[in-house]
Each structure stands twice: as structure tokens, then as C-alpha cells.
Amino acid sequence: MKIIDKLNEDRIHISFEVFPPKTDAGFAKVREATDQIAKLNPSYISVTYGAGGGTSRNTAKIAAHIKEELGMESLAHLTCASSTKDEVRTVIENLKQLGIENILALRGDIPAGMTFPDENRFHYAYELVEEIRKHGDFCIGAACYPEGHVENEHKEDDIKFLKQKVDSGVDFLTTQMFFDNDIHYNFLYRIREAGITVPVLPGIMPITGAAQMKRSQELSGTVFPRRFLALLDRFGNHPEAMMQAGIAYATDQIIDLLANGVKNIHIYSMNKPEVAAKIMNNLSEIVKC
């Protein structure tokens, strides 16, 4: 089933993200975490694609496992900056052979030391979207950045490029993590004004440790509101308390989004089924409304 068909239903959908192991030795552990998350009955599970395409084989294996053995829809990530056009086409064909119907199309990070762009690589995510469209009847998702992409100086340019990407054939968008819901609401207003009408899933990251917060900020440049910083200051040196506080904060974000009419939520689980389970338990009655 295509994810866009789920997202267009008039009910709440909660999805989770997992990331594949960097080596085959870690595959069993990630598969077990995925199986535990699947027991929470999310609408789908997305599987990330490592820098340089290093995890591409395991991305496909986990996505196929989710679909075929767990009986749940999977969303396979695909990046293009670090792979040649032929390598990207090979991955797309492999996903098609595995029966994967949903792909999240991303440019991806540019590996250190690489000359980019070059003529043998797709330069932008919209080019990848167009290429995927040529290879089959996929449902295609893409990323968006409520606080603006770090490479774009002006938000107007960010929205212009996002519109170009959506117009290339994107069915739905998932946001980068954010920690202030007002940022998301403002972003929705601006993109709707620009004519972007596809479903947008807010991406929620439960921060359960100080090191995770630092890494998240380095990757996304996100702004942490004062009330979150106070939480980190008070509980950051107490792992169990920080986990409980981080889960509560993420739950509060989700409840506020749902109360304000958002139907679809994507949670960056960081391969932690215990965190995912506690969030879903906190929402047990709310998701039935």
C-alpha cells in the first residue's frame, strides 16, 4: 500500500524511523529493534540510508523485512549526492524488485573531500524525484525544513526550492526535527501560501540525553526553546530522569500538534523501542479520537 493513501485517511497516523547498521554484524540488533517497534502498530516504518550509500543494502533488507515478514508498510530512504547516477538507478530497481512501493528521496550530505556537484551525480533532490518517477509507480516522500535549510540564506529561497521539489512529483513531506511547535505552524502557513498542498508530517525527535541534543544541533542547526534548555540543565546529568523528561517533552509536542488538527506524526525513534513504546503508551487514548 502506498503511504500517501494512508495519509489521506481521516484519522491519526503515527510512524517511526529506524536506521540500519553500518556493518552486517549489527544487523540482528537493528532487526530486533525494528520488530519491537512494529509491535506498536505504527502506520509505517521508515528506514534511513547511510552517508555514502554504505548502508544501502541493509536499508533494502530491513525495508523488505518490514513489508514482507512484519506485514507493515515501509519507507526506504534514498540519497543521491554520494552515489553515481548508475548506482542510484541500481538501488531503485532493487527496491522495485523487493516490492517496496515507498521511497523518501533526499539529496543527502556531501561526503568530506568530494568534489560536488559533478556531471555523474544528481545535484538536487528534485532530480532524484524525477528519476524515481521514471522507474515505476512509487509513492515518493521528501524532506522539508521548518527552520530553513542550512544552505539557504533566505526562507523565501527555501520555500521556492521546496515548491520545485514537490512539483517534480513528491506525494508528501516530512519535516526535519523541531522543538517549538509554533515554528511548524508558521512553516505550514508559509508553504500553503506558496501553493504547496501535499501532506506534511512533523518530525518529532525525543531527546533522551545531552549528547543526543548536541549531535542533533550539529546536524540540523535547530533552535532549542528555553523551556527545553531548562529541562536539559536540570536533568541532563541524570540519564533515567533525562529519558523520562525527554519522552514527556516529545509527548507534549505531539499532543499539541494533534489538538491543533495535525493528523500525521513521524517520530525519530533512534532505534530505541523502549522510547517509542512509552510515547505510544502516553498517547494510547488520544490516538483513538
In percent, how much of the chain has pLDDT > 90?
A: 76
pLDDT at position 109, please? 77
* Maximum average pLDDT range among 109-118, 210-219, 261-270: 261-270
| Confidence (pLDDT) at 192 | 97
56-102 pLDDT, tens digit each: 789 999 999 999 999 999 999 999 888 899 999 999 999 999 999 99
CA angle 92, 28, 90 (to 5 degrees): 15
- Top pLDDT among 263 and 155 is at 263
What was the pLDDT predicted at 238? 93
Q: What is the pLDDT of residue 55?
A: 66
Question: Picking from 18-22, 95-99, 180-184, 280-284, which range would have the lowest pLDDT averaged per residue?
Answer: 18-22
Strands of the chain, DSSP E: 13-18, 44-47, 73-79, 102-106, 139-144, 172-177, 200-204, 264-268
Give the per-residue pLDDT at 88. 94
Contacts of 21 by beta carbon, 8 Å cutoff, 6+ apart: 27, 29, 30, 55, 58
Residue 212 confidence (pLDDT): 79
Q: Could you give all domains of the chain from N- to C-terminal order, each with its CATH number? A: 3-288 (3.20.20.220)
Q: If you average pLDDT over residues 192-213, what whole number do you get?
A: 92
What DSSP character marks residue 224? P
Question: What single-letter amino acid sits at 218?
Answer: E
Residues identified as active-site: 17
Which is higher by pLDDT, 111 or 32? 32
What pLDDT is recorded for position 154? 61
Residue 18 neighbours by CB under 8 Å, 6+ apart: 30, 33, 34, 37, 45, 46, 47, 48, 62, 269, 271
Q: Residue 262: pLDDT above 90?
A: yes
| Residue 115 pLDDT greater than 80, yes or no | no
Provide the pLDDT for residue 219.
65
Separation CA 184–CA 229 (nearest Å): 19
- The span from the CA of 174 to the CA of 263, in Å, is 13
- Asked whether residue 210 carries a pLDDT value surpassing 60, the answer given is yes
pLDDT averaged over the chain? 91
Closest by CA position to 147, among listed 103, 203, 196: 203
Note the pLDDT of residue 113: 66
CA distance 255 to 245: 15
**Weakest-pLDDT range from 38-47, 231-240, 270-279:** 231-240
